Structure 1
Amino acid sequence: MVIGATGQIGRPTVRALAEDGWRVTAASLGGGRDASWPDEVRAVRLDRADDTALAAEIGDGCDLLVDMVAYGTPHARQLTSLADRIGSAVVISSVSVYEDDKGRGFDTQAEPDGFPEYPVPIPESQRTVAPGESTYSTGKAALERELLAAADRLPVTLLRAGAVHGPHCRTPRELYFVKRNLDGRERRVLAYGGASRFHPVSVRNLAELVRLAAARPGSRALNACDPGAPTVLEIATAIDEVMGAAPETVLVDGPAPAPTVGDTPWSVPVPVVCDMTSAARELGYRPVVSYADTLPETIDSITRRLADHGDWREAYPKMSAAYGDLFDYAAEDAWLASR
């Protein structure tokens, strides 16, 4: 059973498991299907918050449960309460659970000197934030702690995903450059000299990690990222190549010169890059795609969605809520003119 099957990670994961010989039940709130799934995949409607409905759908049991949307202690206990009916589980977590040696993490980024300075690359042994329910990071940490504590009853592989990219994403970071190219912007500004690195992960590489973990049950937390961590400038250039665009890039040393100028969704003052050694050693993980491999599909998905909506905020409301005004062209032009 795959919970959250019609989300951006769920779609390729269902396909990968079905093609690997699993008989898959694809559960989602809407009960829909993806066109890429084999006919044998069984799609069901499931409200994840309904404990009784989940237990009924699992029935006498399943060999594997894959959970794309688990979060916090309640979801962890929901799964462990069914441990006697689940052979093993794979659950999506996040690199945001990490904190640095000064106790800084993703939740302290906006504070003065609050951005975490992680080792490069980050191993799974790096300390994590205290579990809680107040933020996404603490909720994921609580989920991890509860599930790993139940290792004797339920083998669980936790996949700490990086910056997820691919079709059907509701917060695609690539939007930042795709829309600028579509709008014919001739210049763009990049903070931190365009050298920021925030480790991405393709939904197809996540699906491959799930597939491998399904065949090798165990209790562990593993980083889940692409084979490389390109810089923001490299990402921008790769998107330009796919779109046939050639804007001028203006690099700024240090942080964004104005609140809405040069601050991309990847812009970080120090690298956030994960060590993928453990996934290779424990699962035999070999990435199936690189970041550049997936860009044509991602760009096409974003372009079509923008065309279907009158405003980018309507197309991607969660992106707007998370990052604010990403396309303040007036502020960009004013700053560029002032140089």
Structure 2
Amino acid sequence: MVIGASGQIGRPTVDALARDGWEVTAASRGGGRDEGWDDTVRTVRLDRSDDAALAALVGDGCDLLVDMVAYDAVHARQLTSLAGRIGSAVVISSVAVYDDGSGRNFDTLREPGGFPAYPVPIPETHPTVPPGEASYSTRKVDLERELLAAADMLPVTVLRPGAVHGPYSPLPRELYFVKRNLDGRRRRVLSYRGESRFHPASARNIAELVRLSAARPGVRVLNACDGQAPTVAEIGAAVDAVMGVETETTLLDGPPEGSVGRTPWSTPLPVVADMSAAERELGHRPVVSYAGSLPETVVWLTDVLAAGRDWRECFPFLAQVYPDLFDYAAEDAWYAA
């Protein structure tokens, strides 16, 4: 059973499991079906917050439960309460749980001097923020700890993705470059000399980790990112190559100047996850590179914008997180100055 099956990570996960021989029940709020899924995949509607509905769907039991949308300790207890009916679980967390050991983390990013100085790369044994209800990060730690505390009853693999990318994303960072190219913007500005690295995680590579974890149940916490962590300048060049355009990039030595130079990857220090544990424990190899995954993402984003809709309407969550992503007037004024 896959909860959150119609989402960005859920779609390729259902496909990977079905291709591996699993009889998959794809559960989501809308009960939708991806056109690429095998006909054997069963789709059902599920309200993730309804304990009784989840218990009824599990029924007499399932060999594997994959949870894409578990968020906090409440969701963890939902799963552990069904431990006797679930063979093993794979649950999605986030690299946002990491603390740098000095009280800096994803919750302090925008504070003066608050950007975390993580080791490169970050191992799964690195400290996390304290559990609690204060933020997304602390809630994810709460989720992880509740699950791991009950691991003797329910074997669980916790996966920590980085900057997830691929079609159907509610936060498509690649839009930063794709929309500029579609709008005919052939100049751009990148802060921190274009060297920022925020480790991307292809939804298809995460799905492969789910598939491997399903075949080898256990108790583990693994980073779930791509094989490489390109810089933001390399990401821009890769998008340009897919779209067949040439652009001119101006590099700022330091931080963005207002909105100019700010991208969804712009960080003063690298955030790069160590993927050696996944390779060692599961024999994981990425099924796609970042550049290799881009064509389907570019096509999807282009199609979404083709109807002429405002990008904020298409991607409200992205607009909430990065409201000034396309402040062309500020860029033009910066160039003129």
TM-score above 0.5 = yes
Pairs within 5 Å for 1:57-76: 57-76=57-76
Pairs within 5 Å for 1:236-315: 236-258=236-258, 260-315=259-314
Distance across 2 between alignment mates of 1:242 and 1:13: 25
Distance across 1 between alignment mates of 2:309 and 2:203: 27
Distance across 2 between alignment mates of 1:290 and 1:261: 29
* Seq. identity, %: 71
Deviations 1:19-52 (A, max 9, x none): 1010000000001100111111000011010000
Aligned amino acid, residue 300 of structure 1: V
Report if aligned partners of 1:309, 1:315 keep a CA contact under 8 Å in 2.
no
Q: Which residue of 1 aligns with 2:136?
A: 136
Distance across 2 between alignment mates of 1:25 and 1:185: 44
Distance across 2 between alignment mates of 1:101 and 1:25: 41
Q: Which residue of 2 aligns with 1:199?
A: 199
Q: Which residue of 2 aligns with 1:233?
A: 233
Pairs within 5 Å for 1:1-339: 1-258=1-258, 260-338=259-337
Distance across 1 between alignment mates of 2:61 and 2:288: 33
Deviations 1:196-228 (A, max 9, x none): 000001011000000000011111110001010
Deviations 1:43-86 (A, max 9, x none): 00110100000000000000000000001110000000000100
> What is the aligned residue count?
337
Distance across 1 between alignment mates of 2:304 and 2:15: 23
Distance across 2 between alignment mates of 1:269 and 1:330: 25
3-state SS in 2 of match to 1:301: helix
Aligned amino acid, residue 206 of structure 1: I
3-state SS in 2 of match to 1:75: helix
Distance across 2 between alignment mates of 1:74 and 1:11: 25
3-state SS in 2 of match to 1:127: coil
3-state SS in 2 of match to 1:48: coil
Distance across 2 between alignment mates of 1:156 and 1:142: 15
Residue 134 of structure 1 and its aligned partner are, at CA, apart by 2.1
3-state SS in 2 of match to 1:151: coil
Aligned amino acid, residue 190 of structure 2: L
Unaligned runs of 5+ in 1: none
Aligned amino acid, residue 320 of structure 2: A
Residue 248 of structure 1 and its aligned partner are, at CA, apart by 0.7
Aligned amino acid, residue 295 of structure 2: P
- TM-score by structure 1 length? 0.99
3-state SS in 1 of match to 2:89: strand
Residue 309 of structure 1 and its aligned partner are, at CA, apart by 4.6
3-state SS in 2 of match to 1:292: helix
Residue 308 of structure 1 and its aligned partner are, at CA, apart by 2.8
Distance across 1 between alignment mates of 2:322 and 2:231: 19
Aligned amino acid, residue 252 of structure 1: L
Aligned amino acid, residue 296 of structure 2: E
Distance across 1 between alignment mates of 2:23 and 2:197: 38
3-state SS in 2 of match to 1:210: helix
Distance across 2 between alignment mates of 1:308 and 1:186: 22
Deviations 1:223-277 (A, max 9, x none): 001010000000000000111111110000010022x111100000011001101
3-state SS in 2 of match to 1:5: coil
Moved over 6 A (4+): none
Distance across 2 between alignment mates of 1:64 and 1:56: 16
Distance across 1 between alignment mates of 2:297 and 2:36: 16
How well do the aligned residues superpose, as a CA RMSD in angstroms?
A: 0.7
Deviations 1:158-195 (A, max 9, x none): 00001000011111000000000000012100000000
Aligned amino acid, residue 220 of structure 2: R
Distance across 2 between alignment mates of 1:186 and 1:64: 48
Residue 152 of structure 1 and its aligned partner are, at CA, apart by 0.6
Out of 112-121 and 126-135, give the one that drifted further. 126-135
3-state SS in 2 of match to 1:169: coil
- TM-score by structure 2 length? 0.99
Distance across 1 between alignment mates of 2:308 and 2:159: 33
